[in-house]
Amino acid sequence: MKARRLFPGLLALAIAAPAYGQASVDPLLNAASQALDHYEQIAPRIRCQDATTREFRDSCKIALEGLEERVQEAKAQIAHYRQLPNPKAVDLFDTYEMFRRVMDGVENLNCAPESYGEHNRPLLAEAYNTFVKVTGWFGGVVHQSIRDAENRSERSAN
């Protein structure tokens, strides 16, 4: 699922949709938090020194540092969303975007997994599989909320 295709609809949702209920996204946020925690368990086992070239070793180190920062930002965003008394669609969108940034970082590491060494290949695949599942689910929840907002708009226009 391409997040870029969803952006116009997500933007419309963030502007036009009424508050989105916390209870309906709790299982999703739990899964996202678990994926972030799982990545933090995997990350220390990734050995950048196993990469096939110095260029890949350096890019691995940079990518892992960036991912750690993104993971912390995503965790903070999820915590922020959960503390909102009446979260709006824009808050859900912001949380999705922050989680998607983590997925982008994981995808970048998986663009040439064979170049990061045999030891790292299963770890990178595991991280990717964990995030792609939750990202797809997250996108589905946001997509459904867009449909719900459109239906409400149509009903109120009639």
Residue ranges per structural domain of the chain: 3-14+23-150
Residue 9 pLDDT: 42
Q: Within 10 A of 39 (CB to CB), how many other CB atoms are there?
A: 22
The residues of the chain scoring below 70 in pLDDT are: 1-24, 143, 145-147, 149
pLDDT at 46: 93
* Burial group, residue 64, by CB count within 10 angstroms (0-12, 13-18, 19+): middle
Q: Looking at the domain 3-14+23-150, which fold is it?
A: de novo design (two linked rop proteins) (1.20.1440)
What is the model's pLDDT at position 90? 77
Residue with tokens 């149509």: 154
